[in-house]
Amino acid sequence: MLFKYLKASFARKKARRFFREYPYEINKFTLSQEGAVEFANWKNPLVSHIDITQSQVNFFKQFIVKGSLAIDIGGNVGDTTVPMSLAAGKEGLVLAFDPNPHVFKILEINAGLNKQSTNIVPLPYAITEQDGEFFYASSEASFSNGGITEEESGKHGAFQLKQKIKGVNLEKLLDKQYSNWINKLSFIKIDTEGYDKEIIKSISSLLERCKPVVIAECFGELTAEERKELYDLLVAKGYELFYFGDFEEGTKVEPILSAEDMNRWKHFNFYAKVAR
């Protein structure tokens, strides 16, 4: 047991300091409602093993109408993309965005699985206010996470991609390539290492236009002022905010009644829906 722990610890330290390509493994799960589901787990030592469960799918079924459009911004390897698409069904559509080329390889594989019950289009872009090219950096040499900046900097870590990544304005992209789906937009999930507030700003008119449920992350390093701005951005669009504990059916939910409530938890997820 100790040897196994030490081996895993050494692998994680190595992955943080030295780059290498990691393989993937396809695992199979049987869900009580969706049946057989496959998922490609990335063997990067810094990435936890992911199980796809019925509880996860049921969590998203609260918000995603079958046959609708859902969008995963910061899809990573597809750990939320796949349950989202199972909720939307094959007749629906999930657009999964991630500009990180190393995780995108796994996201693409997961988008190609479960074709009998899902419809996922993976897109290798960041969501930005203006179309353009951006720097991408990570605190880990294996690039299991990271973030974008307009100028080259160490904000997200010392490890920089050699090539720039592409940023796109979401509403413009939808109007150009998915215009027949826009009126079916029911849900947007955002998880972008503290960049969520800027994305919400960039999709402001899309929120007014379609009023989808939004899930976002309140990053632990945000200041009280930034948390207030995040809260005010959504409330100004007519949204109510709710803290939730995990992406599981029956998870703990608490209303966020004021900007001050955004300071009750250090790092947390919340969902926002238009007040009725």
The model's pTM is 0.95
Residue 158 confidence (pLDDT): 83
* Count of the separate structural domains present in the chain: 1
Mean pLDDT of 220-237: 95
| Count of CB atoms situated within 10 Å of the CB of 29 | 16
Q: Which residue has the higher pLDDT, 135 or 18?
A: 135
Residue 275 confidence (pLDDT): 78
| Count of CB atoms situated within 10 Å of the CB of 228 | 16
Mean pLDDT of 57-61: 98
What is d(CA 224, CA 230) in angstroms, rounded to the nearest whole number?
A: 10
pLDDT tier at 3, thresholds 50, 70, 90: low
Query: Would you say residue 244 lies in a domain?
Result: yes
Q: Which residue has the higher pLDDT, 8 or 132?
A: 132
Cβ(52)–Cβ(39) under 8 Å? yes
Query: Would you say residue 201 lies in a domain?
Result: yes
259 to 22, 221, 225: CA distances (angstroms):
42, 16, 9
What is d(CA 33, CA 247) in angstroms, rounded to the nearest whole number?
A: 17
Residue 4 confidence (pLDDT): 66
Q: Domain span at residue 52?
A: 21-129+170-274
pLDDT of 7 over the 90 cut = no
Residue 151 confidence (pLDDT): 74
Query: Would you say residue 235 lies in a domain?
Result: yes
Residue 6 confidence (pLDDT): 65
Q: Which CATH number fits the domain that encloses residue 51?
A: 3.40.50.150
pLDDT tier at 146, thresholds 50, 70, 90: confident
Q: Copy the structure tokens of residue 195.
A: 């960049």
Query: Would you say residue 146 lies in a domain?
Result: no
What is d(CA 272, CA 243) in angstroms, rounded to the nearest whole number?
A: 9
